[in-house]
Structure 1
Amino acid sequence: MDEASGFFETPTEAQGPRQGMFELIRSNPESYCDIWRADKDGRFRVYKALKHEYAGDPVYERLLRKEFEIGYSLDHPNICEYYGFVNIPPLGNCIEMEWVDGCSLDTLLPRGAISKTLAAKIISETCDALAYMHSKQIVHRDLKPSNIMLTYNGNNVKLIDFGLSDSDSHSVLKGSAGTQVYASPELISGGNVDYHTDIFSLGCVIDRLSPAYAKVAKKCCQRDPKKRFQSALEVKRAINSHPKAPIASAAAILAAAAISITLFQTRRWETQERVSDAKASYSDSLRSSADETSDVHDISASGTVSSTGTVSSSDSDHSNSQAVVDSSASHALDSSARPQIKPSHKSIATQKNPAKEVSSDKESQSYRDAIDELFRQAT
């Protein structure tokens, strides 16, 4: 943890004296507590106990009890779990809590081992923990890298150390608290402390995590609390809306390309369908014309048309008298018997419709605009 309160380190870094089954894993001169570790039922547990010089002091006893009550009331996957408040003869009153198999964030920062993607995950999970605490009217008051643990299995955040937390029902100590580098102006000056204080400290952590989120950190760290983000979830949304890593951009580009190809194929199929309909309509028209012409040829072959418009058989006895067609009958044949080709239903449907063409052009433009927007977001 920090120098003021101390907390657990990794097993390889935390070797110290023992009190029976208890191993001292952290003790700092400026801390009022020592941190011990012990094996209980085959699993490690952590025990936070007052140092010998503070044991029995009512103020520090109440402070230790207050931290337990706050921690025990919290139940969140990104917050260290508190199990009980116990009295152990070698140590006195202790807080029994979860052992986090991992390392604190401050041990990673100097190594520069935190990628933008991991930074976003750390910030998002820390925001989740803070949002949960704030919903219960609890302010951490001492948020900093050393109080943010990362598990070795999954790099999951575990928020620790509620020794300086304050809420409506817990106010054992008032006044300035927390580490100066990460403390808000109102916390340092002893002013009104609320969730804005944690937002300020979160901004300081973000600033150290990644320069990619400098604008988010700057807004968190405004001197005027009203100009900061107004909730931890607002900070999380700002982080998640930040331009994604290159691999995400590539995925967006591929998605845009896939949509473009799909739209192109759809338009191509629609065009092919319209061409097929037009060809079918034209073929129907030709067949209709051929059928009507055939009927006229059948009439001409079976007989001649008289002046009255009736058809008589071609008899050898009357061949001369009925071989001549009255000029008026010929005219009637030309005007009435000539086949009239009517456009089929399909051919009418395939005629150009200006309104439909305008609608189609607008659709195409909308598709192109959508693709352009996807590419702009991706880049």
Structure 2
Amino acid sequence: MEGVAVQIKQEINEEEIKPPLKKKYNRPPTSRIVHDAIINVGSKEKGASVQKIKKYIFSTYRLDDRKTEILINNYIKKAVRSGKLIRCSGSRKGAQGFFKLATQKRTLPTVDKKTLQQQEGYIEKRSITNPSLQLVKEEGCEEERRRGCRVTVVMDVIDEVTVEPLLTSQFVKPYRLHYKQNDVKKIWDLVTLHESVSVIIYNTDKKKLILVRQFRPAVYYNGIPPEDRVDVTIDTTKYPGIRGLTLELCAGIVDKRKDLVEIAKEEVLEECGYDAPLEKFEKVITYRSGVGVSGDRQTMFYVEVTDSMKVSDGGGVAEEGEMIEVVELSMAELQVFIKQSEVNCPGGLLFGLMWFLQHKAPKD
């Protein structure tokens, strides 16, 4: 009996030292809910937008939280790389755009590493010679590398560029103005544009300015010598798309019947991913830009954000064809940037940077 008692005691002790079972989490696999969403809300040709995918998942599975959104974004990016999902619209980075299920496993052609990276929509590091973009490249690459990620740079992959006369446009309306000045008859060719807003964004946690980088066709085209604009088709090998990349303030046109500050708030959320309260926005100035051609009105705001206000990656609205990269500029990089002899950026950015340095920049 004593031996039996010892054996029972040993069994009890073994049970006591066993680690407790982890509580099983009832969150369904991200792959399953994403595929389910695409099947239910997407079309066979165009697929489903990320916004519709998330809306379906939040309402169907009742998983409307930040962790679910991060899991969805991460899975979509991973699934595109592995071939489980296909990006249907645009060559945007990350979990943005429209996606559909792959019908078969993707096979990649046998090519050299650099070509393969470009086909996949990313490169590890691109050599940038434009001085106004050098700081952006260095800062962005180092941050991504610290996080163990590849750097996505696809905006400058431009090809099949052609030029034709403008007949109609929903954004630009050309006119010829006839007038008298000091009793002398004159004419002036001009265009009318939408009013716009721009925002100086400063992250107080990181102590960095938040800017945007994007491809501007007008900058690209006007950077080509006139003698090479004669042909309808532009030689993108000779004039690569990187020539059209600009550094700018977060901005957008006024095409809604809302207060300007509300439109500014929307642009900060869409382009840079920060959900800043309206009361945080401070009007800087209203001025005229393009005074020789358009004379359009732009209102500039200033807002301070924190890391806790970051709710998305930003990047613009995929459905509207926007392709925007969020850029963080430290105070040291800002000082170097404004001392360059030439920069690929609008005058509004330079004014905004100078205003920030004079009125808001930290003194230490």
- Shorter-chain TM-score bucket reads under 0.3
Structure richer in strand, relative to its length: 2
TM-score, L = length of structure 2: 0.20
Greater RCO, CA 8 A, separation 6+: 2
TM-score, L = length of structure 1: 0.20
